[in-house]
Amino acid sequence: MKLSEIAAALDARCEGDGTIEIHRAVHPAEAEGDGDLALAMDKDLVGLLAGTRARAAVVAEGAEVPEGLAGVIRVKRPRYAMAGLLDVFERPVHAEAGIHPSAFVAPDAELGEGVSVGAFVYVGPRAAVGAGTILMPHVTVGAGARIGRDGLLHPGVRIGERVELGERCIIQPNAAVGNDGFSFVTPEPGSVETAKATGKVGATNVLIRRVNSIGTVIVGDDVEIGAGACIDRGTVTATRIGSGTKIDNLVQIGHNVQVGTNCMLCGQVGIAGSVVVGDRVVMAGKVGIADHVTIGSDVVIAAYSGVGTDIPAKSVYMGIPAMPRSQAFSQYKSLARLKRLFADVADLKARLTPGTGA
pLDDT value of residue 142: 98
pTM comes to 0.88
The enclosing domain of 42 has a CATH number of 3.40.1390.10
d(CA 321, CA 318): 8
- Count of domains for the chain: 1
| 100 counts as catalytic | no
In the chain, pLDDT over 70 holds for what percent of residues?
Answer: 99
pLDDT at 335 over 90: no
Which one is predicted more confidently, 351 or 112? Answer: 112
Q: Residue 217 is inside which H or E element, if any?
A: strand 216-219
Which of 27, 138, 255, 292 does the annotation list as catalytic? 255
Is the CB of residue 111 less than 8 Å from the CB of residue 105? yes
| Residue 77, in any domain of the structure | yes
pLDDT at 356 over 70: no
Query: Distance between terminal CA atoms of the chain?
Result: 84
pLDDT value of residue 351: 87
Supply the range of the domain harboring residue 68.
3-88
Q: Which residues contact 147 (CB under 8 A, 6 or more apart)?
A: 127, 128, 129, 130, 133, 141, 153, 159, 165, 169
Q: In the predicted model, what is the mean pLDDT of residues 315-329?
A: 95
d(CA 179, CA 146): 16
| Residue 96, in any domain of the structure | no
pLDDT value of residue 325: 94
pLDDT at 358 over 60: no
Query: Shortest CA distance to 358 belongs to which of 344, 348, 341?
Result: 348
d(CA 255, CA 349): 56
pLDDT at 83 over 70: yes
Which of 124-138, 179-193, 290-304 has the least mean pLDDT?
Answer: 179-193
| Residue 314, in any domain of the structure | no
DSSP designation for 33: S
Residue 73's DSSP bridge partners are 14, 58
| Residue 65, in any domain of the structure | yes
| Residue 93, in any domain of the structure | no
